[in-house]
Amino acid sequence: MSLEKTAPDAIQEMLQPLENGQFQFACHPGVPCFTECCRDLKLLLTPYDILRLKNHLGLDARTFLDQHTNTELDVRRNLPMIYLRMQDNPRKTCPFVSASGCQVYPDRPAACRIYPVARASRMHRLHGTVQEDYFVLHEAHCRGFEESRAWSVQEWTQDQGLEQYHHFNNQWMEIITHPKLLQENGISEKQQQMFFLASYNMEKFLDFVLGGRFLDLFDLPEGMAKAVVDSDDALLELAFLWLKFSLCNEPVLKIRGR
């Protein structure tokens, strides 16, 4: 299903097709609208966004979540979703914006990186491939479209450092859209807690892996048990495997002795 069909009405009107696979745009401190878009946002944070932001700020996940986010339950799946909390001021500005720009720029969320490109992606469950469609989200207040620089989506993806974000966000999308999570009664409270832990709180998830019977129970891929201690990215890979195994009944982890 295309983004044009699934996006809210207000956004559908702003979506424009790429012209010859390209769009014209630039965003820099010289544009008259600089930082104007960093306010009054409903900005969904993915697990990888949270990991990058909390590390940038030198916070543990719990403190980051308490200080900077709101949690809302997704009504269809009963899954807790995390949103960046705007500041309590008349303009509802992002907590990380300043007159000189984004203060967390190297680790800004994927949604901030990808704009003005809108990406509709879905996982083909039989082939395991991600299918993608791209549009340009042309918002009236954004003067970046008056700039002359032309980009292909590939150039923009590379320039904005999006590959690593897509790598993790595709896996998370596969979990949260999995048919198993769309059962009539939704997931249980215990499963909700497991989802929250493995998606958003890497310190607690590491405690869960190292402190209980996890490593006795599962025969992890070679080197993974050590890697998760040294690398947040490896830990998030394991967290997603755990969610696919435990919530989606996918045989992606091997139980010892079986």
Q: Which of residues 144-163 bind ligand SF4 (CB under 6 A)?
A: 144
Q: Is 38 in the site for ligand SF4 (CB under 6 A)?
A: yes
Please identify, among the stretches 105-113, 155-163, 231-239, 243-251, the one whose residues bind ligand SF4 according to the rule CB under 6 A: 105-113
- State the minimum distance, in angstroms, from the CB of residue 150 to ligand SF4: 15
Q: Which of 210, 225, 217, 222 is nearest to 258 (CA)?
A: 217
Q: Is 234 in the site for ligand SF4 (CB under 6 A)?
A: no
Instruction: Using the minimum distance from each CB to ligand SF4, give the nearer residue, 13 or 207.
Output: 13
In this structure, how many other beta carbons lie within 10 angstroms of the beta carbon of residue 209?
21
What are the residues whose beta carbons fall under 8 Å from the beta carbon of 193, sequence distance 6 or more?
none
Determine the distance from the C-alpha atom of residue 8 to the mean position of all C-alpha atoms in its chain, rounded to a whole number: 19
What region does 128 belong to: left with phi over 0, alpha with psi -120 to 50, or beta?
left
Instruction: Using the minimum distance from each CB to ligand SF4, give the nearer residue, 48 or 242.
Output: 48
Total number of residues binding ligand SF4 (CB under 6 A)?
Answer: 22
Residue 242: exposed, middle, or buried by beta-carbon count in 10 A (0-12, 13-18, 19+)? Answer: buried
Position among 94, 202, 220, 235 found at the interface with ligand SF4 (CB under 6 A): 94
- State the minimum distance, in angstroms, from the CB of residue 197 to ligand SF4: 25
Position among 142, 209, 238, 243 found at the interface with ligand SF4 (CB under 6 A): 142
Instruction: Using the minimum distance from each CB to ligand SF4, give the nearer residue, 115 or 151.
Output: 115
Instruction: Using the minimum distance from each CB to ligand SF4, give the nearer residue, 41 or 253.
Output: 41
Q: Which two tokens stand for residue 48?
A: 């990888």
Q: Which two tokens stand for residue 52?
A: 């990058």
